Amino acid sequence: NAGVTQTPKFQVLKTGQSMTLQCAQDMNHEYMSWYRQDPGMGLRLIHYSVGAGITDQGEVPNGYNVSRSTTEDFPLRLLSAAPSQTSVYFCASRARQGSYEQYFGPGTRLTVT
């Protein structure tokens, strides 16, 4: 099991550029989510999905899009990057039953100049 994988590990964008952060999991988890981590603010939920074809907004969804065409993949798209989106992004997955433990990817450090 690779668990939760994310690519790229690092990315620098210019303001206005778009890009997609990739996330995949091989644990057959129904629930996947994207967080951003900023100093002193913990993790904030951007978008989440409770299964293929279903997505919903979290706490800070503006400027981001997601889709969930398969159980395994949950890409996060930045439509027009802004300096305020400079952050570390984590993808996570979990089963929808049981103890709700989340498994996190290693993160993507994004800088927008």
Partner 1 sequence: GNSVTQMEGPVTLSEEAFLTINCTYTATGYPSLFWYVQYPGEGLQLLLKATKADDKGSNKGFEATYRKETTSFHLEKGSVQVSDSAVYFCALSDPDDMRFGAGTRLTVKP
Binding site for partner 1 (CB under 8 A): 4, 31, 33, 35, 40-45, 48, 50, 90, 92, 96, 99-107
Nearest distance, CB of residue 54 and partner 1, angstroms: 11
Query: Residue 21 or 105: which CB sits closer to partner 1?
Result: 105
User: Exposure of 2 by Cβ count < 10 A (0-12 exposed, 13-18 middle, 19+ buried)?
Assistant: exposed
Query: Residue 17 or 44: which CB sits closer to partner 1?
Result: 44
Nearest distance, CB of residue 62 and partner 1, angstroms: 18
Query: Residue 15 or 56: which CB sits closer to partner 1?
Result: 56
Nearest 5 degrees, angle CA 96-CA 98-CA 103? Answer: 65
Q: Which two tokens stand for residue 29?
A: 């988890």
Q: Which two tokens stand for residue 83?
A: 């300096």
How far, in Å, CA of 106 to CA of 83, rounded? 22
Residue indicated by tokens 């994988």: 5
Other Cβ atoms less than 10 A from the Cβ of 61: the count is 16
Nearest distance, CB of residue 111 and partner 1, angstroms: 16
Query: Residue 17 or 75: which CB sits closer to partner 1?
Result: 75
Nearest distance, CB of residue 92 and partner 1, angstroms: 8
